[in-house]
């Protein structure tokens, strides 16, 4: 296989929550080249890698909404947003002066709870033409709230930070901030939250609204077939944004199953460039190392894999099959190398 691109989409959350001992522990070690900044972030890198550079600047909410058929508002003027936003369930902790994102503050609701929350939302907010659609790992897609040009922040980047410092900003952000406040008050008395508390599970304190507000590309449609010039010949992920991108690019996105099995052997597989989006949430570093990183390191050592690129935050690090001869580069675990570069 020519190259494996391993995307760690939530490494910033992991690094904030993990003790330093985990980042520097003696797991599988490789000699990595110096970090390189990405042009944009990992989502833009993936869009360009499947020959859909036109989607690199389309907001995350619109990509998911278009791929799974969620209707959104049509732009009525230049610069108007599509009205689609990601709504990520959060559990927040009260500090002395503000609310904070704890390390485990981003919640992943089971499908039954996500559906219940969406249906309850419709009863309260549906009259205002607002709707929540469960969207797997992304939480929800909110439709019906247009706030063009509003700047928002991926909640994963705010672990341990103050809540109010990252609220939506921009000339049209007032509507989004007001809606977020109304949602918080609604969640406070939600029966679903009372049941979660009785089970000893964290409450859903808020839905963090982000990932929208950009003018939609028109038309935002799917390709009929994958481009033969696409860099990535295979995508492996359970992340709904990656699955949505693959659908719009006309590519199949295979489910991520651990341990990771790398394609080897045939001429076609020898020229393959595989991109794997592998979140760290819910997987111990030891298991992740054994079932994801170690197979790639073994393939590098055996010459079956020419290059391993690891992408996290806005940077990438690369280990190649010949790097084992570059003794001036320190041996580091993937976690430590990414943490040093982030």
Cα 11 to the chain's mean position, in Å? 10
d(CA 119, CA 241): 23
194 phi and psi, to 5 degrees? -65, -40
**Residue with the larger pLDDT of the pair 110 and 217:** 110
Report the predicted TM-score, pTM, of the whole model to 2 decimal places: 0.82
3-state helix, strand, coil in the chain (%, to 5): 35, 20, 45
> Please, which residues bridge with residue 6 across strands?
276, 310
Question: Which carries the bigger pLDDT value, residue 5 or residue 224?
Answer: 5
Give the pLDDT confidence of 135-162 residue by residue, as tens digits.
988 899 999 898 888 889 888 777 666 6
- Map out the domains of the chain as residue ranges: 3-57+222-341, 62-210
Look at residue 191 in the predicted model and tell me its pLDDT: 96
Q: Two tokens at 36?
A: 């390189």
> Is 291:21 a contact under the CB 8 Å cutoff?
no
Q: Which residue has the tokens 């897609």?
A: 141
Instruction: Determine the average pLDDT of the residues in 305-322.
Output: 87
Is pLDDT at 224 greater than 50 in this prediction? Answer: no
């Amino acid at each position: 296989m020519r190259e494996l691109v391993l995307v760690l989409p939530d490494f910033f959350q992991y690094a904030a929550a993990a003790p330093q001992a985990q980042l520097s522990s003696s797991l599988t070690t490789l000699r990595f080249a110096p970090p390189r900044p990405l042009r944009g972030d990992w989502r833009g890198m993936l869009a360009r890698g499947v020959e859909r550079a036109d989607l690199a600047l389309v907001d995350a909410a619109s990509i998911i909404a278009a791929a799974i058929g969620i209707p959104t508002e049509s732009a009525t003027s230049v610069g108007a947003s599509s009205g689609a936003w990601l709504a990520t369930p959060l559990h927040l902790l009260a500090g002395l002066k503000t609310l904070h994102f704890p390390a485990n503050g981003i919640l992943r609701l089971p499908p039954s709870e996500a559906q219940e929350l969406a249906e309850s939302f419709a009863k309260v907010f549906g009259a205002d033409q607002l709707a929540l659609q469960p969207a797997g790992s992304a939480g929800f897609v909110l439709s019906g709230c247009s706030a063009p040009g509003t700047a928002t922040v991926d909640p994963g980047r705010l672990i341990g930070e103050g809540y109010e410092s990252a609220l939506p900003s921009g000339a049209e952000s007032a509507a989004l901030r007001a809606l977020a406040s109304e949602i918080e008050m609604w969640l406070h008395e939600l029966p679903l939250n009372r049941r979660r508390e009785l089970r000893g599970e964290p409450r859903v304190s808020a839905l963090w609204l982000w990932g929208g507000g950009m003018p939609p590309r028109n038309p935002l449609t799917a390709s009929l077939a994958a481009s033969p010039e696409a860099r990535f010949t295979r995508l492996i992920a359970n992340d709904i944004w990656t699955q949505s991108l693959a659908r719009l690019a006309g590519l199949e996105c295979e489910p991520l199953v651990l341990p990771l099995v790398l394609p080897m052997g045939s001429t076609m597989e020898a020229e393959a460039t595989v991109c794997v989006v592998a979140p760290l949430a819910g997987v111990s570093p030891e298991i992740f190392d054994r079932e994801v990183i170690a197979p790639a390191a073994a393939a590098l050592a055996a010459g079956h894999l020419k290059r391993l690129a690891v992408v996290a935050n806005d940077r990438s690090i690369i280990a190649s099959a010949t790097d084992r001869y570059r003794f001036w580069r320190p041996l580091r675990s993937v976690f430590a190398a990414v943490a040093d570069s982030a």
